[in-house]
Structure 1
Amino acid sequence: MTITAEIHLRSPLLPLVSVAELEQTDGVQCPHVIGLEQGLQQLVVEINAAEPLSEETLLELDDVIEATNLGTARGKEVYKLSVVLRELIAEAFKNTPDAGLVDAIQITPEGWYEQKVFKDYPAFNTFRTSCEEHGISVEIGSITQDSSTSEESAPYGLTERQYEALSLAMSRGYYEQPRQTSARELADELGISQPSLSDLLGRAERQLITATLGPSPRLEMLSQ
């Protein structure tokens, strides 16, 4: 099961937000990110500006330790930058291995707009939780699932649809206190009615309990 999400990450500590804040800058894209070592990344960025930014200007920014102008492409100046990640950002990204960048990162003074692909909903939820625990807010623009996966791949005896509903509920904060979303909102995302969503989650929860604790007269009575 593959999940593709369009997300907006908000934090002033994200790399190159300071570049987007420069007066002469009118748009920053980052199509390539290479992790060099813990806390250090190399990024290729395309900057739309009236005049090319000097390497000296970029090196004056707190997180940039190396800057090389690679020339012009598609009407934008292209730079290779080496940046040091702030400790919180490095920790947040270190804990999210099951994600990949689909398109160029759009860097703004408010943060990053990204389209990422995740192995499944739990991987997305791990990413979201790690970001939020380290001071990066995660706003979801859209989230879609590759429906080509067969039902046999769903764990704990869940059907694919049950797994999808349960994973979406987890990723949206439905089981948090207080709840971050409602059953109606989850139902709208899945394209089903609210009663159908409640029934789907109830069956999934009962199946998880049965798979964990094993069948018993009490569990069998609950499932009827």
Structure 2
Amino acid sequence: MSTIAEIELPAKEFALRTALERAPNAEFDVVRVAAHDANHVMPYLWVTADDLEKLDSALRADNSIDKLNLIEDLGDERLYRMHWVDQIHVVIHILVEEEATILNLHGKEDRWRLRILFPDRDSLSATYDFCQDTGLSLDVRNIYEISDTRHGLYGLTEEQHETLMMALEAGYYDVPRDSTADDLAGDLSISHQAVSERLRRGHRSLVKNALALSPSDGRE
């Protein structure tokens, strides 16, 4: 069964280390990453920083980058395409050796967080062993299996998925609302508090797993 894992790596052991050191307030959100070959990784990533010009200079001075192209400049954030050529062994292993998919990759301050879809639990174990053997400080933060339905991809439980879909179909999200939390509670035969909790946790999982993957200090 496919497995999703959220892992963290220290920034000093990963690409863009120099850029993060020189622009400590920068954040990187990779929206697509592919292995160009055994020695190159080509990501597209959005970047934000207090001083984007300073960050641009830091990127161009970073030895882990071979090619750098500015694709979009929206004023407060930029989209780059680049080639990573150093400190990318774990990414190559994940994409090539394990045939896994990197769903999210977020870098900030002193660490990177990756959310990875592995073909199975053995592939995750092999990646952990690879990092141990190569001296990388891999920290596995969260692991869960994908259920037989697609909602497992977004970290939703069966109950959360059921409640969210019922809320959508009942018009809970319409403006004005055609249904209330009390209505949903009656349909589901659970308390108002339980409905609110399912919706809150479900919304958090959807935002976290579909839209963002920011480093967090707390384990889940």
TM-score range, shorter chain: 0.5 to 0.7
- After superposition, where does 1:116-135 map in structure 2 within 5 Å? 116-135=116-135
Partner of 2:113: 113
2:38 is aligned with 1:38: yes
TM-score by length of structure 1 reads 0.57
Residue identity in the other structure for 1:63: S
Contact 2:128 2:138 in 1 (8 A): yes
User: C-alpha offsets along residues 160-212 of structure 1, whole Å, 9 cap, x if unaligned?
Assistant: xxxxxxxxxxxxxxxxxxxxxxxxxxxxxxxxxxxxxxxxxxxxxxxxxxxxx
Partner of 2:146: 146
Partner of 1:219: none
Show structure 2 runs of 5+ residues with no match: 150-220
Q: 1:19 to 1:56 in 2, by over 3 A?
A: closer
Shift of 1:101: 1.3
Shift of 1:91: 6.8
User: SS of 2:73's equivalent?
Assistant: strand
Identity %: 15
User: SS of 2:122's equivalent?
Assistant: helix
Partner of 2:79: 78
User: SS of 1:21's equivalent?
Assistant: helix
Give the paired residue count.
148
- C-alpha RMSD over aligned residues: 2.7
Distance in 2 between residues matched to 1:87 and 1:2, nearest whole Å: 24
Contact 2:29 2:47 in 1 (8 A): yes
Distance in 2 between residues matched to 1:74 and 1:142, nearest whole Å: 35
Contact 2:7 2:141 in 1 (8 A): yes
Distance in 2 between residues matched to 1:125 and 1:83, nearest whole Å: 25
Partner of 1:101: 102
- Segment drifting more, 73-82 vs 60-69: 73-82
Residue identity in the other structure for 1:99: A
User: SS of 1:102's equivalent?
Assistant: strand
Distance in 2 between residues matched to 1:71 and 1:94, nearest whole Å: 26
Show structure 1 runs of 5+ residues with no match: 150-224
- Segment drifting more, 92-101 vs 1-10: 92-101
User: C-alpha offsets along residues 118-172 of structure 1, whole Å, 9 cap, x if unaligned?
Assistant: 11111110111112211212212211112439xxxxxxxxxxxxxxxxxxxxxxx
Larger Rg: 1
Contact 1:5 1:140 in 2 (8 A): yes
Residue identity in the other structure for 1:115: R
2:93 is aligned with 1:61: no
Q: 1:57 to 1:110 in 2, by over 3 A?
A: closer
Contact 1:102 1:115 in 2 (8 A): yes
TM-score by length of structure 2 reads 0.58
Distance in 1 between residues matched to 2:134 and 2:93, nearest whole Å: 6
Partner of 2:19: 19
Q: 1:142 to 1:63 in 2, by over 3 A?
A: same
Distance in 2 between residues matched to 1:114 and 1:73, nearest whole Å: 25
Contact 1:6 1:113 in 2 (8 A): yes
Partner of 1:199: none
Partner of 2:2: 2
User: SS of 2:26's equivalent?
Assistant: strand
Distance in 2 between residues matched to 1:87 and 1:148, nearest whole Å: 32
Distance in 2 between residues matched to 1:97 and 1:74, nearest whole Å: 38
